[in-house]
Amino acid sequence: MELFLPKISEQGIESLVEDINQRGFGVLTDYIAPPVLEMMRAFVNAAVRTSGGEYVGFNTPKALVGSMLDQISSSPEFQDLLKQIYEVGTGKPGPEVEFYQVLRCLAGASGRKHSLRFHYDSYVVTALIPVEIPAEGKCGDLIMLPNSRNIRSSYAVNVIDKLLLDNALSQFALRTLARMNCLPLARINPIPGNIYFFWGYRSIHTNEPCDQDKVRATALFHYVNPHAARSLKSGSRRPSANGLTGIPAMEVRRRDLEQSSAKTQ
């Protein structure tokens, strides 16, 4: 199927960036055409069936062939969109680098392990395409403390930020405060068809769990790791050969901590 993505005007990009800066996220409605969304859903449903109704994740374009998500990341319009958001948001030229692309399918009891893990992404721009979101009950909102840090000039400071967040005490405190409504959280109830953008590197964020008998699938596109050169030197993990991330949550967090990515290798 041919992929058609709407072209976003310069003004459209500017208002997206303003939204990301002001309220934590920007959204383009009806960005993904219904037949394309159907193909993504068919891919997700087949993957969840194969995994016996449990969590499954993918993190390479190769593993996503047939889902249309590989075509999105290689689309010049889409690449340009993220590049422009980066450029308007940071005032720096957007480098020609590939996205670090992930598809996460939350399902079954294991879906919980992949929820409520507050983190910073390793990449400046995060684009999120909701593929399958439960229509009722707990649907797994994305919650965030928008723009809670700046882009660190030093890799070491970035690691310290992550260590301060990636420990049982901080995670417990954030979960408790979030439950008590004591945090200035931005909340996204993602609507399939739309695409959402936020500064993943700068914002503490996570998804809430969804009901175990439902599927919640989101595709993520990450752009520009500010510490890519440093991450390369420190040696990063490669995604598995088949791009299937069956990664236990701890490893996802370690992956983030180590700044490893498909892109930097």
Ligand X SMILES: O=C(O)CCC(=O)C(=O)O
Residues 212-231 that bind ligand X (CB under 6 A): 218, 220
The answer to the question of residue 129 lying near ligand X (CB under 6 A) is: no
The answer to the question of residue 121 lying near Fe ion (CB under 5 A) is: yes
Three-class DSSP category at 1: coil
Nearer to ligand X, 17 or 142 (CB): 142
The answer to the question of residue 262 lying near ligand X (CB under 6 A) is: no
Candidates 127, 142, 204, 215; binder of ligand X (CB under 6 A) is 142
Which residues have CB under 8 Å from 244's CB, separation 6+? 56, 57, 58, 63
Give the binding range for Fe ion (CB under 5 A) out of 5-13, 70-78, 119-127, 241-249. Answer: 119-127
Containing H/E element for 260? none
Between CA 81 and CA 197 the distance in angstroms is 11
Q: Give the side-chain half-sphere CA count within 13 A for 53.
A: 6
Size, binding site for ligand X by CB under 6 A: 9
Q: Are 200 and 20 in contact (CB under 8 A)?
A: no
The answer to the question of residue 203 lying near ligand X (CB under 6 A) is: no
Nearer to ligand X, 37 or 102 (CB): 102
Q: How far is the CB of 196 from ligand X (least distance, A)?
A: 9
If you compute the radius of gyration of the chain from its CA atoms, what whole number of angstroms results?
17
Q: How far is the CB of 107 from ligand X (least distance, A)?
A: 13
Nearer to Fe ion, 94 or 200 (CB): 200
The answer to the question of residue 205 lying near ligand X (CB under 6 A) is: yes
Residue pointed to by tokens 């030229």:
93
Which residues have CB under 8 Å from 151's CB, separation 6+? 90, 124, 201, 202, 226
